[in-house]
Each structure stands twice: as C-alpha cells, then as structure tokens.
Amino acid sequence: MTSQRMRAVLATTNAGKVRELAGPLADFGVDVVGLDHFPHIGDIVEDGLTFEENALIKARTVAAETGLVSIADDSGLEVDALDGAPGIHSARYGNDWELLPGENRDDRNIRKLLYALRQVPDAQRSGRFVCCMAAVRPACLGGGELVVRGTWDGRLLTARRGSNGFGYDPVFLDPHLGRSAAELSREEKLARSHRGQALRALLARWEAFMHGAAQPSAD
C-alpha cells in the first residue's frame, strides 16, 4: 500500500465504471476520476485490430494528454459460429440495420445477432465475452504499460432472458449457473464476468506496475 495518494484517470465518461474501479484502487492510495474531468479530450479513434490494441490506444492517449496514470478497457462478444464476430465491433455491430420503433442500440445489436444465428444449432452456439484492460504510466512518471485480459465462456441463446445488465447480456448463457448474464445480480456477474476477471488481474499486478516491474501482458 502507498502512504501518499495519487490520481489516475479511467478513460470513460461512464460513472458506473469509474465507481467500479475507484473502490478497489482506493486501497492502493489511488483516487480514480473519469474523462469528464478532462473535457478537452475528445473522441478517441479506436482503430486497433484487437481488444488489447484498442485498450492501449485509449490509455496511451489519455496518459499523454493528462500526465497521469491512465486505465482503459475494451470489451466485446466473440461468437465461434460467426468466426469471432462481432468482436471488436460489438458496440456498433447493428449500425448497418435500421432502428425499429422503441429500440435502442443494444436491442438492434441483439436482433442482428439472433438473425445471424437463426440456423445455428444449440451445440454450435458457443461464444465468449472478452475484456482487456490497459494501464499506462506516462513518461513524466517513469513510463510503463500493463495489459490484462479476462474471458467469460458461454453459449448464445435463441431468445432474450432477464432484464439486468446491458449489451448482449440477455442472450448470453452462463452454462455453470444456467442463467443468462441478464438474470444475474451485480455481485454474481462481477464474480463470473470477463470484466471482473480483468479487474482482478489488474489489481493483482498494480503495485508491481506502479513500481516499474510489470511488463505488457495479456493472460
């Protein structure tokens, strides 16, 4: 643990994500803030080819702009029957489809995914959520990068189940629990999810990273 508190930036304007990371890192003497504290940083172009690359692009950009340690994540859904799609394009997967009345972007993404899988039998509907987190210490603080990965294996359902969560949660079945991600409580989801795994991996390496011992990794 450190006796002197420092500040780190989470490369998001999502207050929920900031709170999720702020609690654990507070034990390491770190105060986490979001991008709303740095309005001069506009949209960051994520043109990497992998989750790791996109997380690093965001973290490097924010670290360079702020001079503070930056943390970023990139996540998505990989479906085996679709050759890994939607993958890094998960959030905008359905952008080429028209929104139906009452739909939001998540609804449209799910509609397109279920259509793409309409003829795929249950035994072949395997997939996984992936989350990569990157932490970057800017050159003014000695430099350094750390990348970790979390995965959550499951199966894609043929129809929605549950009302919790967001994104593809209603059609992603956790085979161990026998429930969709949208049927899990927040605590259950954090214990099982790709994001929870990545967060725990990041925290396990945090002190070594801050002391310059960590090297980029994704395991």
Residue 1 lies in a domain: no
CATH number, domain with residue 137: 3.90.950.10
Q: Give the 3-state DSSP-derived string for 137-199, with helices as H, strands as E and coil as C.
A: ECHHHCCEEEEEEEEEEEEECCCCCCCCCCCCHHHEEECCCCEEHHHCCHHHHHHHCHHHHHH
Structural domain range at position 182: 6-210
Q: Is 218 a domain residue?
A: no
- Domain-embedded: residue 215: no
**Alpha carbon 157 to chain centroid, angstroms:** 21
- Whether residue 74 lies in the annotated active site: yes
Domain assignment of residue 99, yes or no: yes
pLDDT tens column, 113-165: 999 999 999 999 999 999 999 999 999 988 999 999 999 999 999 999 999 98
Over its length of 219 residues, how does the chain's per-residue pLDDT go in tens digits? 445 688 999 998 888 788 888 888 888 889 999 999 998 998 888 999 999 999 999 999 999 999 999 999 999 999 999 999 999 999 999 999 999 999 999 999 999 999 999 999 999 999 999 999 999 999 998 899 999 999 999 999 999 999 998 899 999 999 999 999 999 998 899 899 999 999 999 999 999 998 875 444 444
Q: pTM to 2 decimals? A: 0.89
Domain contains 62: yes
Quickly count: other Cβ atoms within 10 Å of residue 196's Cβ: 18
Question: Which of 27, 36, 73, 74 is the catalytic position?
Answer: 74
On whether residue 219 sits in a domain, the answer given is no
The total number of structural domains that make up the chain? 1
**Position 216 in a domain:** no
Whether residue 86 lies inside any domain: the answer is yes
